[in-house]
A and B are shown apart, each in its own frame.
Chain A
Amino acid sequence: MWQFLKTWYHRLASPKWFYHTSGRWLPYLAAVTILLLVSGAIWGLGFAPEDARQGNSYRIIYIHVPVSVLALVGYYLMAVAGAIALIWKIKLADMVMVSAAPLGAVLTFLALLTGSIWGKPTWGTYWEWDARITSMLVLLFLYLGVLALSRAFTSRDTAYKACAILSLVGTVNIPIIYKSVDWWYTLHQPATIKLTGGSTIHPAMFKPLLVMIIGFYCFYALVLILNTRAEILRREQRSAWVRELI
């Protein structure tokens, strides 16, 4: 058992092994992703019942919610990869972390954008200082900070270590930020604005949402792997196995 774990550990840590194995699985993952996202979107757009209160504008939920979930999950993934890279000095982990930062920032931006488009027909404004939107905005700032920091260093080794520390500090802070923003919002909540409770969603509306969430998880994994592969190639261009690829 121990031996098995050990070989896996060494394999996983090897960029070469990762590059070859992920290359074999990528087409399947891409096919599943496209299938899930396209069918989920068609289901959500055309076949899910209309919401009684919000009408058809609620259909944005099928993008907004999965994107928001992955934006947050992505930050934790980035921090965990950073911690692994810091503690065990695994090269692959820091490549994953570097690849996760821009992807997460784009997803957070999309979450804000779709939320704001959704807000117009629902609340009558594009922007509302609501607890969730504000938390998302702070998350975007956290991502932008990590991105800016990673660009600032000339030494790649220092850059990933610095980003790992910053994202770990951010991870500790995220629950506190969310709680404080939540609390701040209850202080200032105008009585006229009511959020749609996600808890009482109808099953016929929830099923396509589930498909989309799984689809977006696949999408995230797919793009993260693609990014990591590109990063591996860039860093290992001098090694023998990369030369053999050409």
Chain B
Amino acid sequence: MVSESGFGALLRRDLLLAFRSGGELLNPLVFFVMTTSLVPLAISPSPLQLAVMAPGMIWITALLATLLALDSVFKDDFDDGSLLPLLLCPQSLWLSVLAKVLVHWLRTGLPITLVAPLLGIMLALPEAGFLPLVIGLACGTACFSLIGAVGAALTVALQKGGVLLSLIVIPLYFPVLIFGASAVQRAVEGLQYMPVLALLGAFFAFALLTTPFAAAAALRVGVNG
């Protein structure tokens, strides 16, 4: 039960820190809303055209928004020195990693999922697409956080790791984006979308089982710079 309380304590501490940072907490969300609102300006305000683009655009901007906050998953702790005790403490490292991932998702994935329907309205997304958009985003952004943690751990000690982090992580995001965006598209076209969401869920379960260990191993390597 030591590990459980350790997990809880770490989670509480990180959430508290995130809330105390105030404005920074909402930055990924604001980025998400801003970039999505560029779409009608760059392409066309016509609802017909927007409806076609909406599922893909919302998914792409959600991906970019989670990517933006990925850099800080381990880096803040690495910079102020509180990461090293985690590497040394008796609690399994993968549990600590999982806590960090959960905090990242609560900061990015959850607000993005909650705001996405609003952007769906603004981008004239047909009504059938809303449910799969929300379910898919909730699951997909969690996958983004999990996979991204591996990349964030590898680049934790690098000064200019931001762009590099995106480079190594984006190729791994392809399946999530494909499943997520096409679930919405299928729903809009009146096709069955549950099987696609199930695939996404399977991917999430697989990522949940494997990535914390990979990220923990990566963290042990990454801290050496």
Say yes or no: A138-B171 contact (C-beta < 8 A), given A152-B164, A165-B154, A187-B182: yes
List chain B residues, Cβ under 8 A from A176.
Answer: 175, 203
B221 at interface, CB cutoff 8 A: yes
List chain A residues, Cβ under 8 A from B169.
Answer: 145
Q: Cα distance A91–B170 when bound, in Å?
A: 30
Binds B, one of A96-104, A154-162, A199-207: A154-162
* A194 shortest CB reach to chain B, Å: 22
B46 at interface, CB cutoff 8 A: no
Contact call B161/A152, Cβ cutoff below 8 A: yes
A181 at interface, CB cutoff 8 A: yes
Contacting residues of chain B (176-225) with chain A, CB-CB under 8 angstroms = 178-179, 182, 186, 203, 210-211, 214, 217-218, 221-222, 224-225
* A108 shortest CB reach to chain B, Å: 12
Interface string of A135-157 (1 = CB under 8 A from B): 00010011011101100111101
Contacting residues of chain A (90-131) with chain B, CB-CB under 8 angstroms = none
List chain A residues, Cβ under 8 A from B164.
Answer: 148-149, 152
B121 at interface, CB cutoff 8 A: no
List chain A residues, Cβ under 8 A from B30.
Answer: none
A74 at interface, CB cutoff 8 A: no
List chain B residues, Cβ under 8 A from A142.
Answer: 171
Contacting residues of chain B (135-172) with chain A, CB-CB under 8 angstroms = 147, 150-151, 154-155, 158, 161, 164, 167-172
A173 at interface, CB cutoff 8 A: yes
Contact call B168/A166, Cβ cutoff below 8 A: yes
Contact call A152/B224, Cβ cutoff below 8 A: no
Contact call B171/A153, Cβ cutoff below 8 A: no
Contact call B167/A154, Cβ cutoff below 8 A: no
List chain A residues, Cβ under 8 A from B161.
Answer: 152
Main secondary structure of the interface of A (DSSP, over half): helix
List chain B residues, Cβ under 8 A from A177.
Answer: 171, 174-175
Contacting residues of chain B (41-79) with chain A, CB-CB under 8 angstroms = none
* A166 shortest CB reach to chain B, Å: 6
Contact call A153/B178, Cβ cutoff below 8 A: no
List chain A residues, Cβ under 8 A from B172.
Answer: 169-170, 173
Chain B residue, CB-CB nearest to A139:
B171
Of B161, B167, B214, most A-chain CB atoms within 10 Å: B167
Say yes or no: A165-B224 contact (C-beta < 8 A), given A138-B171, A187-B182: no
Of A142, A179, A180, A187, most B-chain CB atoms within 10 Å: A180
A183 at interface, CB cutoff 8 A: yes
Contact call B178/A181, Cβ cutoff below 8 A: yes
Residues on B facing A (Cβ under 8 Å): 147, 150-151, 154-155, 158, 161, 164, 167-172, 174-175, 178-179, 182, 186, 203, 210-211, 214, 217-218, 221-222, 224-225
Additional A-B contacts beyond A145-B171, A166-B168 (6; CB < 8 A)? A145-B168, A149-B155, A154-B225, A162-B218, A165-B221, A180-B178
Subset of 30 A-B contacts with CB under 8 Å: A138-B174, A141-B171, A142-B171, A145-B167, A145-B171, A148-B164, A148-B168, A152-B161, A152-B164, A154-B225, A155-B224, A155-B225, A158-B225, A162-B218, A165-B150, A165-B214, A166-B150, A166-B151, A166-B154, A168-B214, A169-B172, A169-B214, A170-B171, A173-B171, A173-B175, A177-B174, A180-B179, A181-B178, A184-B182, A187-B182
